[in-house]
Structure 1
Amino acid sequence: MKETKVHIVVTGDIVVNDHQWQSNQKNTAGLNWQRFPQLSRTITSGAALLLAKLVALSTGADVHSPALPATGQLPAGILRSTLELAPFPRTMDKPDSKVYRVSEFLGFSGPASGTPTLLPVINDNINADLVIIDDNNDGFNSREEFWPLAVQSPDTSPLIIYKTNNPSKSNALWRQIERHHLANTIVIIYGDDLRAQGVNISKGLSWEKTALEFVWQINNNPILTYLAKARHFIIPLELEGAIYYQNDGESTESRLFFLPNEIEGSLQKESLGRMYGLSSSFVAGLARSIVAGLNNRDNISKSICEGIREGIVAVQKYYFDGFGANIAASDFPSPGIFTENENEVIYKEQIQDVPIRNSNNPNCRACWYIIKDKSSASLSDIAYDIVKNGEKIALKFIPTAKFGNLITVDRAEIEGYRSIKNLILEYISAKTVVRPLSIAVFGTPGSGKSFGVTEVASSIAPRLIQKLNFNLSQLQSLPDLIAAFHRVRDLSLEGKIPLVFFDEFDSAFNGNLGWLKYFLAPMQDGVFREGDTLHPLGRAIFVFAGGTSSTYTEFCGETIQDETEYKQFYRQFQNAKGPDFVSRLRGYVNILGPNQTDEQRDHLFIIRRAMLLRALLERKTLHLINEQGQAQIDDGVLRALLKVPRYKHESRSMEAILEMSRLANAKKWEQSHLPSLEQLRLHVDEEQFTRHLMHDAFFSERIEQLAMNLHEKYLLLPKDSQQGHCAEPWDQLPEERKNAVRNLIKHIPSALRKINYDVVSVTEKPEPIQFTDNELRLLAEYEHKRWSLEKKETGWKQCDLYNVHKKLHPLLVPWDSLDADSQNKIMERVTYWPAILAESNFAIDRLKSLCYCETQA
């Protein structure tokens, strides 16, 4: 960045860092001490001193800041930290490329008493445009004499970036900012620092969950009341995202910035080492954009949004560059953090953002999916794109989670799988734990319960974890279960961690849920009884896969509405030791298969189907995917596979249809390759499947009748809603007018997809649906745009007076320029669509991507 005219002051707490690292290079020909590993040391700037260097690099500005004496002699009482450095892989996928990072923090050293030594700003400027403060709660916030002059003065109005790791409304610095500068202050607190203050925000489960919990906390948690007054509040979420909260005094808005294929905490791993100064590099990236915005007089919110992207890029490059491959020869901090080169680890364009729902309605929070807000396409269009082009292209800007060969986009599954992954990671790390880790997995038969958890476990420690399978419905007696425990014990004694699947654990054995009581001692104490002998199991992961219950709440009876029925269930549940069993579980996940689980809430089933179908094509019929990664599949076949109401045996049925099709020598999956209707009946409703398969043919056959029926509806309109010849019967209309109505009919399915509906051919006349006011307006606006373009392409022009001969029309203006009466007339015509479709045996399928709470409005 070129040198700017913006005056910047950077100050705050002062720290110097003592680095030490060991080199194994030995000099066999030198003195005796040179024959041993060498220990090197260096001193670098930390806290506000490091931040000032980073801001100078990022902005190119002349930064006014404190400085260490030129003599190199450190002032007495200055705060020092000592850190051990070691070489680590630059990234996980480049294990042979090493850079130095922090392997161990050895501690601080400071004054014997009082606060650490602080340093004044050199050539401080009371008229500074931008003031950046690094408050680590090490004394600066109470020492007014070291504050920047622009902050001390109540008569100045600098833009302030206030970075802190220990926020407090009682410290003197915050009170000064709140009293005189709050409207111009950007507060920055890392997510983990907020959590340490008692702000309960989840981490590493899903972006939606973290974002929504922040909104709830900022609205309800008294700890954040004073911070919520800030006009701009940024919460960086490690290397992968950030939340930006705005408060203009009348309304608030929160926005999430995120990397779609990562989650908070996923990039910074123990095996890659640690780095201090991450928050400072983020602030420097933010400052870069703000300075550019001040020079260009941009809106501050716009500069902050761009700056958050700059900050996320900077913090990742800072982390991955570390202290360099050769500490002595590498610049630290590196200027390359703020320049874009080829083969970067990250580009700004990869960082996505989305408004966060600001609602205390639990239904709204539970059903918010970023995929719905992030894509302008309907869910069905996204699903088609997934199958045709693969998840990497179709879901480029959508949060996804990958565990081995498992990829999921469903928030509920992502949160469930990540919870399980965190449990397994913690279990493996805790070397002293000897009892099994117990997890439950629920889902319908064929939903992929075993596959999902296996991939999660394999993605963690494939060489350590070994899978065992036991189906309890096939065990005949207690000795069979004891034999299974012995196999688990044997594997544990070999140094492995058995991943033990107890399929259909909820099956009957000498009564309902009869197996549960035999797992209580192994789950709680890590032992099993054989006669009078107790055998230790050792470390293991027990995965209890339900066979009769598709969800955890169903297993516990929480879905039972009738109070008498629930009491009866719970008595039986208690007798079977159900509550004791549940108390020993440490986690559970509900696996969602390709079938829709709830018509009101589960709208992502079509995405799950698409991802499953794409995976099956890649695994079983790779020859159908061309060099560009595009799947060669007929649109009708694809539509039927994605839209059929139900697969009788879940994912097994989808896989079976693929295997039953004649594709060995096919270049494209055509309709002729499908199995016969009799064979399809094994896995789907063959009539519904066929109707989706022949959707285009059915609709094309009936376009003429649909057009005639729609025109008859138009004849019922008041005369002031008609345009002369519209009042004529269908057979007397000019061909141009007939074609206009036919074209409208052809585009109805496309219009309905814009609001996530589909047209489905049915055997009996359905009941016409009614559009909501919002849906009606969206459809009318879409139809007006389509009609306007069609008119203009055939030579019509806008004029205040309608003239069919001169091709002049008063309504050839944008939708927002139409008067309310004209808009209402267009919407009135759209209301006829469901009726004329129903008369021709077409139903409008409610495949909505709206939230459940919105549909209840």
Structure 2
Amino acid sequence: MQCNNLKIVISGDICINSLYWTTDPQNSKGLNWQNSLNIHSVLMPGEALLLAKLVTLATGSCVLSPHIHDLESIASKEYLRAMAEVELFPVFGNKKNNDKVYRVKRLLGFAGPASGVPKLLPIANDDANAEMVIIDDENNGYHSNEEFWPLALKMPDKSPTILYKMSNPINTTLLWKNLEKNHMDRTIVIINSDDLRSKGVNISRSLSWERTAQDFVWQINNSPNLAFLTQCRHLVVLFGLEGAIYYKNESVPESCLYFLPYEFEGEFITDSQGKMSGFTSCFVSGIARSIVMGHENNEELAASIGEGIREGIVAAQKYFIEGFGKNMGVAPFPNPDIFLEGEDDFIYKEHVQDVVIRLADNVSCQSCWYILKDNSSTNLAEIAYNIVKNGVQHALKFIPIAQFGNLQTVDRGEIESYRSIKNLMTEYISTNNAPRPLCMAVFGTPGSGKSFGVTEIASSIAPRLIKKLNFNLSQLSTPLELINAFHKVRDVCLEGKLPLVFFDEFDSPFGEKLGWLKYFLAPMQDGVFREGDSLHSIGKAIFVFAGGTSSTLQDFCGEDIEDEEERKRFLLDFKGAKGPDFLSRLRGYVNILGPNQTNQHNDQLFIIRRAMLLRALLERKVPHLIKDKGEAQIDNGVLRAMLKIPRYKHESRSMEAILEMSLLTNAKKWEQSYLPSQEQLRLHVDEEEFLRHLMHDTFFSEKIESLAIAIHEKYRELNHHHTNVDSELLKKWEDLDEDLKESARNQARNIPNALLTINYDVISVKETPPIVEFTQRELDMLAAYEHTHWCRYRKGAGWKKGNVKDKTKKTDPTLVKWNSLPKENQYKIYQMVTIWPEILANANFKMERLKFLCDCETEM
């Protein structure tokens, strides 16, 4: 960016970074010291000094700031110093790139002046008329020393845009009180999420972006520790290098999440890549860059902040990748390339997505919010079709995806559960002296893939360390066999491996209901098992208890029992079987969601899970049906039936079985004729429902003409007495010209797609179904959609907007956007879509509300 006329003042706490690194001996023939390891050191700017350099690189503006001409020549003991050891680390966390750069290996600590008060520096050539002020408050004394503040802050008649990088979120400092009194309207407060958490603000870390976002909104609305921040017009909270939340309070408070779909908080940097400081300063510089550019283009501040968050996330990641360079003390730092966009960059601003955070009034519906739905212009069914047809990466490029080895999931509940399990495993594996096994439970219906998910997570953390063992308790007949299983676990520990032990069907009966539980209490709590009079230590292990009779933890605990008496009896038996003692020893659990819908309220993404599973099965078992560009060759009827069938009798095993039973070895496309017979389908699905979904397109296509006629005749009936209706549209069907007939057919043909926008499906049934009545909101959406579709159709046929309707010139004054359409024309379209349910019912088509909606989304 070229230098512009906008003047920026930067001030704040001062710190000098002292970096040390070691190199191999220079030679073996020189002086004695040259034959030993050489230790080098260099001084580099930190805190406000580093921020000033970053902002200068980012904005190209005239930056006025504290300045030290030669760091190496100063009496550094006057200043706060941060000591760190640096070392060469891989540029990226994978093995494909062998390049290395210097990053921090270990932070040694801080060295302060003898007085205990770090030295601050005045702003060189400070200007009270600066358009922007950026403050780096690291809680090291600056906020209490008014003499070092910029003139533009101390003069109440000035109104610069202020970026306040705050590391200690409290409202009692002199600096905050000054901003609160004189500059709050133009102040952008920028805080790192870890600084909020350090104040006791409970925001989940790295579970799901939805959970993190909703935790933040709840905390900002309810936490006393954050009450003062609600006065901010603009508050930005940075979550690692992967996301940020922008809280805007200009009139009505609104929070927006900015995130990278393929990463979660803390994932970008691996343990093998080293560390860096200065991320938040780099992020602030990205926001400053965007505001400067917005100032030149007269852009609203909120829009500039939003774009700046993208700039900041990209710059912070590139800053880490560049590190201190390949040659310590020689390469420029910071590298100016971090603010330039290159063709081969690994990240671009377009990768950063945003979504308004939705916080439902109904607390029970908090888990209903999915970025997948809010951030997509299409409904879940269309997304599911796209996943199967074109692949997960193509269909969900802007949606949060969690991947653990070969496991992929977009379901928020699964993401949060799996990430909780991963966090537990990571912490346990890194612990040197674990007194007992890490115990977790996994629940799910048969065929849902209980062992696959946990195994992939463990393998993604420590593939060379983990060794998997399986024991099915329903196949054991005596406690002695369980003791033998513990010995096998112990043997793996003695090999230097970490056993990942699956106890399948742990909830099966043994003498009594849940009879095996009591045999696990001592191994889970004390890490030992008894054999006769001897106690044996198990060692470090991960125990995974996979349910066989309970599909969820809630089912296992009896929480779903509605009858009070039955519930009391269950809890009495549960206590007698040591169920509460067993639960108290668990450290985590996950309910695995298979391809069937678990309930109609919260499990909204079952159709997406099915689509991802079906795509994976196609890629693995019939890869010849996937074209070079990734497009799956599958008949639309087959795809619809596989995704829309209400229930698979044996979950994922049934989906896999139907694929394997189809005659696809030499097929070029999965056609309907290649499916197994009805008798074979009956083993895995309701074959009649499957066939209805399979033939849906055929059934509907056969009735296009009759539907078009019925719609036209109903329209004539409703408008025959109106004088302002086009007389051509009031003719009998047989008297219409072909152009109008085709327009009616096109409307009928598109009804299923239109209904999908309000989450209705069209199902062919044997008897006349009841007539559905649309809500006003549904009518509004349908009418606008239908008009847009009609405009697209007419323009495709060569029509264009004109002052009058002319069939010869193909002009029509109603070819305008919905909001620009005259009210009388809008009324006619409302009238048209209102009659659809009656027309469909008379043709034996049932309108069925899609089940992947929460009740809170259907109430209008």
TM-score by length of 1: 0.96
Q: Aligned residue for 2:142?
A: 140
CA–CA distance in structure 2, aligned partners of residues 490 and 139 of structure 1: 57
Per-residue deviation, 1:297: 1.9
CA–CA distance in structure 2, aligned partners of residues 307 and 236 of structure 1: 12
Counting only pairs closer than 5 Å after superposition, residues 195-274 of structure 1 correspond to structure 2 as: 195-248=197-250, 250-274=251-275
CA–CA distance in structure 1, aligned partners of residues 488 and 108 of structure 2: 45
The 8 Å contact of residues 378 and 849 in structure 1, kept in 2 or not, is answered as no
Of 31-40 and 821-830, more deviation after overlay is shown by: 821-830
CA–CA distance in structure 1, aligned partners of residues 249 and 312 of structure 2: 21
Per-residue deviation, 1:737: 3.8
Would you say 1:666 and 2:667 are equivalent positions? yes
Per-residue deviation, 1:791: 4.6
CA–CA distance in structure 2, aligned partners of residues 543 and 500 of structure 1: 6
1:855 is aligned, of 846, 853, 858, to 858
Distance verdict in 2 for CA 1:675–1:100, change over 3 Å: same
Q: Aligned residue for 1:37?
A: 37
Counting only pairs closer than 5 Å after superposition, residues 297-308 of structure 1 correspond to structure 2 as: 297-308=298-309
CA–CA distance in structure 1, aligned partners of residues 822 and 744 of structure 2: 23
CA–CA distance in structure 1, aligned partners of residues 806 and 283 of structure 2: 62
Of 449-458 and 806-815, more deviation after overlay is shown by: 806-815
- In structure 2, the gaps of 5 or more residues are none
2:832 is aligned, of 829, 837, 847, to 829
Of 811-820 and 640-649, more deviation after overlay is shown by: 811-820
CA–CA distance in structure 2, aligned partners of residues 627 and 733 of structure 1: 46
CA offset digits 1:395-422 (Å, max 9, x no partner)? 1111000000001111110111000000
Distance verdict in 2 for CA 1:659–1:84, change over 3 Å: same
Per-residue deviation, 1:806: 9.3
Q: Aligned residue for 2:66?
A: 66
Per-residue deviation, 1:600: 3.1
1:755 counterpart letter in structure 2: I
Distance verdict in 2 for CA 1:188–1:632, change over 3 Å: same
Q: Aligned residue for 2:848?
A: 845
Of 357-366 and 805-814, more deviation after overlay is shown by: 805-814
Of 806-815 and 818-827, more deviation after overlay is shown by: 806-815
Q: Aligned residue for 1:51?
A: 51
Distance verdict in 2 for CA 1:810–1:17, change over 3 Å: closer
Per-residue deviation, 1:508: 1.2
Per-residue deviation, 1:294: 1.5
Of 594-603 and 495-504, more deviation after overlay is shown by: 594-603
CA–CA distance in structure 2, aligned partners of residues 264 and 140 of structure 1: 30
Of 776-785 and 843-852, more deviation after overlay is shown by: 843-852
1:762 is aligned, of 765, 785, 791, to 765
Q: Aligned residue for 2:6?
A: 6
CA offset digits 1:222-273 (Å, max 9, x no partner)? 111111111110111111111111111x201111111100000001222211
Would you say 1:385 and 2:386 are equivalent positions? yes
The 8 Å contact of residues 135 and 165 in structure 1, kept in 2 or not, is answered as yes
Q: Aligned residue for 1:92?
A: 93
1:706 counterpart letter in structure 2: L
1:5 counterpart letter in structure 2: N
1:23 counterpart letter in structure 2: T
Q: Aligned residue for 2:527?
A: 526
2:114 is aligned, of 87, 93, 112, to 112
Q: Aligned residue for 1:173?
A: 175
Instruction: Find the residue that maps to 1:96 and give its secondary structure.
Output: coil
Would you say 1:577 and 2:578 are equivalent positions? yes
Of 666-675 and 101-110, more deviation after overlay is shown by: 666-675
1:741 is aligned, of 744, 753, 759, to 744
Per-residue deviation, 1:531: 2.1
Instruction: Find the residue that maps to 1:328 and give its secondary structure.
Output: coil
Counting only pairs closer than 5 Å after superposition, residues 402-481 of structure 1 correspond to structure 2 as: 402-481=403-482
The 8 Å contact of residues 757 and 848 in structure 1, kept in 2 or not, is answered as no
The 8 Å contact of residues 206 and 414 in structure 1, kept in 2 or not, is answered as yes
Instruction: Find the residue that maps to 2:329 and give its secondary structure.
Output: helix
- In structure 1, the gaps of 5 or more residues are none
CA–CA distance in structure 2, aligned partners of residues 671 and 505 of structure 1: 41
CA–CA distance in structure 1, aligned partners of residues 804 and 625 of structure 2: 56
* Alignment length (residue pairs): 856
CA–CA distance in structure 2, aligned partners of residues 792 and 78 of structure 1: 70
1:21 counterpart letter in structure 2: W
The 8 Å contact of residues 76 and 117 in structure 1, kept in 2 or not, is answered as no
Instruction: Find the residue that maps to 2:590 and give its secondary structure.
Output: strand
1:750 is aligned, of 748, 753, 760, to 753
CA offset digits 1:422-441 (Å, max 9, x no partner)? 00001101111131111111
The 8 Å contact of residues 314 and 347 in structure 2, kept in 1 or not, is answered as yes
The 8 Å contact of residues 254 and 358 in structure 1, kept in 2 or not, is answered as no
CA–CA distance in structure 2, aligned partners of residues 157 and 487 of structure 1: 72
The 8 Å contact of residues 367 and 852 in structure 1, kept in 2 or not, is answered as no
CA–CA distance in structure 2, aligned partners of residues 270 and 798 of structure 1: 61
Counting only pairs closer than 5 Å after superposition, residues 256-295 of structure 1 correspond to structure 2 as: 256-295=257-296
Q: Aligned residue for 1:159?
A: 161
CA–CA distance in structure 1, aligned partners of residues 326 and 361 of structure 2: 49
1:62 counterpart letter in structure 2: C
The 8 Å contact of residues 253 and 358 in structure 1, kept in 2 or not, is answered as no
Q: Aligned residue for 1:507?
A: 508
Per-residue deviation, 1:824: 3.7
Q: Aligned residue for 2:17?
A: 17
2:205 counterpart letter in structure 1: K
CA–CA distance in structure 2, aligned partners of residues 494 and 813 of structure 1: 74
CA–CA distance in structure 2, aligned partners of residues 104 and 680 of structure 1: 61
Of 385-394 and 174-183, more deviation after overlay is shown by: 385-394
Q: Aligned residue for 1:787?
A: 790
Of 92-101 and 253-262, more deviation after overlay is shown by: 92-101
The 8 Å contact of residues 446 and 651 in structure 2, kept in 1 or not, is answered as yes
Per-residue deviation, 1:588: 0.5
The 8 Å contact of residues 798 and 811 in structure 1, kept in 2 or not, is answered as yes
1:476 counterpart letter in structure 2: S
The 8 Å contact of residues 372 and 849 in structure 1, kept in 2 or not, is answered as no
Per-residue deviation, 1:467: 0.8
Instruction: Find the residue that maps to 2:315 and give its secondary structure.
Output: helix
Q: Aligned residue for 1:676?
A: 677
Instruction: Find the residue that maps to 1:769 and give its secondary structure.
Output: coil
Distance verdict in 2 for CA 1:717–1:92, change over 3 Å: same
Distance verdict in 2 for CA 1:21–1:822, change over 3 Å: same
Counting only pairs closer than 5 Å after superposition, residues 462-611 of structure 1 correspond to structure 2 as: 462-611=463-612
CA offset digits 1:428-474 (Å, max 9, x no partner)? 01111131111111111111111111111111111111111111112
Q: Aligned residue for 1:27?
A: 27
The 8 Å contact of residues 368 and 851 in structure 1, kept in 2 or not, is answered as no
Q: Aligned residue for 1:771?
A: 774
CA–CA distance in structure 1, aligned partners of residues 24 and 716 of structure 2: 92
The 8 Å contact of residues 18 and 42 in structure 1, kept in 2 or not, is answered as yes
CA–CA distance in structure 2, aligned partners of residues 18 and 802 of structure 1: 78
1:583 counterpart letter in structure 2: S
1:399 counterpart letter in structure 2: P
CA–CA distance in structure 2, aligned partners of residues 782 and 475 of structure 1: 61
CA offset digits 1:808-848 (Å, max 9, x no partner)? 86654432123445434422321221222122222223226
Per-residue deviation, 1:792: 5.4
CA–CA distance in structure 2, aligned partners of residues 786 and 183 of structure 1: 44
Q: Aligned residue for 2:619?
A: 618
Instruction: Find the residue that maps to 1:329 and give its secondary structure.
Output: coil
Would you say 1:186 and 2:193 are equivalent positions? no
Per-residue deviation, 1:328: 2.8
CA–CA distance in structure 2, aligned partners of residues 833 and 668 of structure 1: 35
1:14 counterpart letter in structure 2: I
The 8 Å contact of residues 279 and 316 in structure 2, kept in 1 or not, is answered as yes
CA offset digits 1:460-506 (Å, max 9, x no partner)? 11111111111111212222212211111111111111111111111
The 8 Å contact of residues 439 and 586 in structure 1, kept in 2 or not, is answered as yes
CA–CA distance in structure 2, aligned partners of residues 705 and 140 of structure 1: 79
The 8 Å contact of residues 600 and 854 in structure 2, kept in 1 or not, is answered as no
The 8 Å contact of residues 13 and 48 in structure 1, kept in 2 or not, is answered as yes
Of 355-364 and 311-320, more deviation after overlay is shown by: 355-364
CA offset digits 1:132-170 (Å, max 9, x no partner)? 000001000000000000011111001110001112100
